[in-house]
Structure 1
Amino acid sequence: MIRALWTASTGMMAQQTHIDNISNNLANVNTGGFKKSRVEFQDLMYQTIKPAGASTAAGITRPVGEQLGLGVKVAGITKMHTQGSIIQTGNQLDMTIEKDGYFQIQMPDGTTGYTRNGAFTKNNNGEIVTVEGFLLEPGIQIPDDAVEIYVGRDGTVSVQIGNQNQMQELGQITTAKFINPAGLESVGGNIFKETSASGAPQVGIPGEDSFGAIAQGFLEQSNVQLVEEMVNMISAQRAYEINSKAITTGDEMLQTATQLKR
C-alpha cells in the first residue's frame, strides 16, 4: 500500500508536466512559426519479486515472473517541427519556407539562431531584421529609394529603384536544415539554437537539394491544433484524477490496517 502511494504520486507529477506543456502549446496557438511540444513518458524501474524462469521447489520452471512497477517519469519533451498553416499577408518582407529549412538570424552575442518565423522588417539602416531587430543572415540592405522588393523562390532579393524598369539584385537568402531538428534548443522569441543532438547546420539555397523554397508575402503560423490540445488536456486531467484516487484508496487501506487492533 505504501508502494501504491509513491507510484501514484509519480503519475500525478508526470501529468502535471503534461498539463504544463499543453498550456504552453495553447498559449502559443497564434505565435508565428511556433512549434508545439509533446511530452514523452517512460515507466520507472521494476521491483522483481520472483524472476521469470526460476525453478520452483518441485523443479518446475516458472513461465512468468512477478514484477511490480514503481511508476512513471517524463523521459523528454519533443519539439514537433511539422509545418504550420500558411496565410497570405501581402507584405513584401513576409516570407515562409515551404517544407524543410530555417532562416538564419544573427544573435546579439554573435552566434547564429534559427527560426521559421519569416515576419521580417527593415531597421533604420535598411537592413532586413526580425521584429526584435536581429539581423537576417546573410545580411541584405534595402536602398532608401527602393519602391518594390522581390524575393525569388531561391531566396534571391531584388529591388526596383525609382522609375527604373531594370531590377537590381541585392543578394541571396540561404537557409539551414538539421539532421535532427528535434534536438534544437528553444531559446525563446521563436528562435532555436544548434546543439550536439541536432547536428551541425547544413546551409543551402532554397528550392535546391531538398531545401524548401521561399514564398514571399506569406507567413507560417503555429502548428498547434486546438482540438488536439483540448483532447490531450482532458486526457491528462482524467489521468491526474485517477492517480489521485489511487492515493486516496491507498490511504484508506492503510487507515483500515491501523484500526485492526480496535
Structure 2
Amino acid sequence: MKSLAIAATGMNAQQTNVEVIANNIANINTTSFKRARAEFTDLFYQMDRMQGVPNTAGSSPIPEGANMGLGVRSAAVRKLHIQGALSQTGNTYDMAINGRGWFQILGPNNDVLYTRAGSFNTNANGQLVTLDGYQIDPSITVPQGTVEVTVNKTGQVFAKLDTEVNPRQIGQLNLANFVNEAGLEPLGGNLYKETTASGTPVVGLPGDAGYGKINQHYLEASNVDPVKEITELISAQRAYEMNAKVITASDEMASTVSKGLR
C-alpha cells in the first residue's frame, strides 16, 4: 500500500522539522543567532488519468485528471535574517549592527568570514578580535596607554590616550551586504561564509544607504521567539502522530485483506 510509504515521508519531514526547532530553542540566548525554518515540497505525482484529454473518442476533454501524490520531502532549511533586539551590556568592545550589514572577520586561513556577533575584545597586541581570537577586517589596533575607546554610529573608532587631550581615530569599521543573505553558509561560532548562492559581498560604511548603524555597548540578541517555537513544536508533534496513525491504519487494513484471503 502506497499510504505506508507516503506516511513514512511525512514522519521523516516532521522529524527534520523538530530538529530545526530544537536547534532554534537551543540557541535562544546565542548572540545574533538567526532562527531557521524547515521548508518542504511535495513529491512527484503518479498519474492515473490525464486531464484535458477526451475520455472516449469524440467526447469533450475531461476537466480533471487523477494524480496521486507520493509524499513530502525536505527542500531547505532557511535562515531567517531578521533583526534581533539590541541588548545593552555596557562593555566597551560590544557592538551591535542596527540594520543591514555584516562585520568582516579574518578566519583561520586568513579567508574573510562574516558575523553579526559584535562581542569583540583586544588580544595581547591590542588588536580588535572576536571571542575566538579572529581579527576584524580591516584590522584595528588599540594603542597602549588608551583610557577610553569610542565607536560612533558610522563605525569610526577613536582612542583617548592618557598622554593626549583629544581622542585620535584609530580605525574604521566596514560592513558587508549580500544580495541573498539566506545563501550564506553557517560555519558555527556565529560565523558565515560567502557562497555562490549568497553572491559577492558589497562593502560599505555604517550609516550609508542600505547599511545599518553601529551601536557601541550593545549586542544583538537572538531573533528566536520562544512562544512561536513551542507552538511550532506542538504542531510538528501532532503532525508526526497523525502520520504514525496513518501507518497503523494502513497496516490494519492490509492485515484485514490478508486474513480475508486465507
For residues 52 and 206 of structure 1, what CA distance do their matches in structure 2 show?
A: 56
Pair 1:21-2:20 in alignment: yes
Can you list the C-alpha shifts for 1:193-221, whole angstroms capped at 9, x where unaligned?
A: 00000000000110012111101000001
AA aligned opposite 1:48: M
Corresponding residue number in structure 2 for 1:65? 65
For residues 210 and 53 of structure 1, what CA distance do their matches in structure 2 show?
A: 49
Question: TM-score w.r.t. structure 2 length?
Answer: 0.98
Q: What secondary structure sits across from 2:260 in the alignment?
A: coil
Q: CA RMSD in A?
A: 0.9
**Identity fraction in percent:** 46
The alignment of Structure 1 onto Structure 2 pairs a total of residues equal to 261
Q: What secondary structure sits across from 1:68 in the alignment?
A: strand
Moved beyond 6 Å, runs of 4+: none
Pair 1:51-2:50 in alignment: yes
Q: Which structure 2 residues correspond to residues 238-257 of structure 1 after superposition, within 5 A? A: 238-257=238-257
For residues 7 and 60 of structure 2, what CA distance do their matches in structure 1 show?
A: 35
Corresponding residue number in structure 2 for 1:117? 117
Tell me by how many angstroms 1:61 deviates.
2.1
Q: Give the unaligned 5+ runs of structure 1.
A: none
Q: Give the unaligned 5+ runs of structure 2.
A: none
For residues 61 and 134 of structure 2, what CA distance do their matches in structure 1 show?
A: 68
For residues 238 and 248 of structure 1, what CA distance do their matches in structure 2 show?
A: 15
For residues 106 and 188 of structure 2, what CA distance do their matches in structure 1 show?
A: 14
Q: What secondary structure sits across from 1:42 in the alignment?
A: strand
Q: What secondary structure sits across from 1:132 in the alignment?
A: coil
AA aligned opposite 2:45: Y
Q: Which structure 2 residues correspond to residues 142-181 of structure 1 after superposition, within 5 A? A: 142-162=142-162, 164-181=164-181
Corresponding residue number in structure 1 for 2:101? 101
Q: What secondary structure sits across from 2:62 in the alignment?
A: coil
Tell me by how many angstroms 1:105 deviates.
0.5
For residues 52 and 94 of structure 2, what CA distance do their matches in structure 1 show?
A: 65
Q: Which structure 2 residues correspond to residues 179-218 of structure 1 after superposition, within 5 A? A: 179-218=179-218
Tell me by how many angstroms 1:71 deviates.
0.2
For residues 184 and 253 of structure 1, what CA distance do their matches in structure 2 show?
A: 47
Tell me by how many angstroms 1:163 deviates.
5.0
Corresponding residue number in structure 2 for 1:4? 3
For residues 123 and 200 of structure 2, what CA distance do their matches in structure 1 show?
A: 30
Corresponding residue number in structure 2 for 1:77? 77
Q: What secondary structure sits across from 1:210 in the alignment?
A: coil
Tell me by how many angstroms 1:164 deviates.
2.6
Tell me by how many angstroms 1:110 deviates.
1.3
Can you list the C-alpha shifts for 1:144-164, whole angstroms capped at 9, x where unaligned?
A: 210000001111100110053
